[in-house]
Structure 1
Amino acid sequence: MSNRRRFLVDRPVQFAIIRRMLVHWCLAILTLMVIGVFVQLAFTPDGVSLTQAIARSYAAQGPLLALMFVLMPVYIWDVVKLSHRFAGPMLRLRAIMSELADGGSATQLRFRPGDFWQETADDFNRFYDAHLALKDRCTELERRLERYERDEEVAEEAAPVS
C-alpha cells in the first residue's frame, strides 16, 4: 500500500466513503452533546435552564470535542488507506478488462500484498488464460478458413469449363 502514488485511486468511491464516515462522525458528536445536555437537565439539582445545561455540557465535554476534531483527519487518513485495499484492485481489474474489450492483450491481474480480493485476481487469471486460449483458437480457425477459401478459389479456376 505504501507504493501508491495517488492519495485517492478511485475518487467517487473513496469520497463517498469519506462523506459517509464524516456524517457518522458528526452524528456521534451531536449525540454525545445531546446526551450531555440531557444529563445536565435531568440530574442537576436546583433545575437549570436549557441554556445553562447546554453551557455546562459544552464546558464538561469541551476537551472531548477538541480531541474528536483533532483526531478526525487521522481517521480520514486511515479510511483512505483502508479503501485503497479494495479501490485499487477494482481500478486495476477495470483497466485490464477495458484493454481486453478493446482487443488488446493485457497482462494477468496482480494485486499488491495486503489488497482485498486476492481470490478475485486468481479467478480472473483463470478466465484470462481461457480467454487467450479461445482467442488463439479463433485466430487459428480463421487462418484455416482463409486457406480453405483460397484453395477452393484455385480449384475453381483450374477446373475445366464445360
Structure 2
Amino acid sequence: MSHSGRKKTFVDPKVQGALVRRLVLHWCAFIAVAGLVAFCLQVLSNPFRTMEEHAQQVWWTHGPFLLVLVFLLPVFILDTIKLSHRFAGPIYRLRNTIRSLAKGEEFRPLKFREIDFWQGLAEDFNVMVARLRGDAVDAPPAAATIDAAEPTAVAAN
C-alpha cells in the first residue's frame, strides 16, 4: 500500500521539533559569532574610533548579509521539516502499523514512499511479520542479508 504523499509534513513534533530547535539554535549562534567577529575586526582595523562608529560601520558593511540570513531562516526551517519528514514519517507509519498489529487488526504490508529513508526497514518488517504469522516467506531481502553479513566482515578484519 504505497502513499504518494502524507497529509501532514510535521508528523512527529518531538523529533522534528527538536531538529528545528537545534537548527534555530545553530543559526542564532552563527549570527552571534559572525557579528562578534565582524565587530572585533572592525575595532581592530581602527581602534581610535568610538564604539558607536564601529557599530554603525559594521551595520553598513554587514547589515545586508544579516537581512538575507534573517529571510533565509524560514527556508532553512521548512527544508529541515521536509527532510526530517522523510525519516520521521516512516517511523511514524511503522509505529502505527505495530499498534494496529497489537490490536489484532489485519496486517497490510508496510511500504514507504519512494523518497523516504529506510526502505529496507519496511521490507525487513514485512518479512518478520510474515514469519511470525507462519506465512511462507521467500529469501530475506538483500538489505537484510547485507546487514547481517557486515558485523562478521568487520570482525574478520
Normalised-by-shorter TM-score class = 0.7 to 0.9
2: CA distance between counterparts of 1:55 and 1:120?
55
Where does residue 10 of structure 2 map in the other structure?
A: 8
TM-score, structure 2 normalization: 0.78
Highest CA radius of gyration, 1 or 2?
Answer: 1
Where does residue 115 of structure 2 map in the other structure?
A: 114
Contact preservation (8 Å) 1:9, 1:87:
yes
Where does residue 139 of structure 1 map in the other structure?
A: none
SS in 1 for 2:10: coil
Where does residue 56 of structure 2 map in the other structure?
A: 55
Where does residue 130 of structure 1 map in the other structure?
A: 131
Q: How is 1:54-73 mapped onto 2 (pairs within 5 angstroms)?
A: 54-73=55-74
RMSD value over aligned CA atoms? 1.7
Contact preservation (8 Å) 2:38, 2:58:
yes
2: CA distance between counterparts of 1:37 and 1:67?
18
Q: Tell me, yes or no, if structure 1 residue 96 matches structure 2 residue 92.
A: no
Contact preservation (8 Å) 2:111, 2:122:
yes
TM-score, structure 1 normalization: 0.76
Where does residue 33 of structure 1 map in the other structure?
A: 35
2: CA distance between counterparts of 1:6 and 1:35?
41
Contact preservation (8 Å) 1:33, 1:58:
no
2: CA distance between counterparts of 1:2 and 1:49?
60
Displacement of 1:104 in angstroms is 2.1
2: CA distance between counterparts of 1:2 and 1:48?
61
2: CA distance between counterparts of 1:43 and 1:92?
57
Structure 1 unaligned segments of length 5 or more: list them.
135-162
Higher helix share: 1
Equivalent residue letter for 1:56:
Q
2: CA distance between counterparts of 1:20 and 1:28?
12
Where does residue 87 of structure 1 map in the other structure?
A: 88
Relative contact order, CA 8 A, sep 6+: which one is greater?
2
2: CA distance between counterparts of 1:5 and 1:58?
43
Q: What count of residue pairs does the alignment treat as equivalent?
A: 133
2: CA distance between counterparts of 1:47 and 1:18?
42
Structure 2 unaligned segments of length 5 or more: list them.
136-157
1: CA distance between counterparts of 2:6 and 2:104?
28
Instruction: Select which of 22, 26, 47 maps to 1:24.
Output: 26
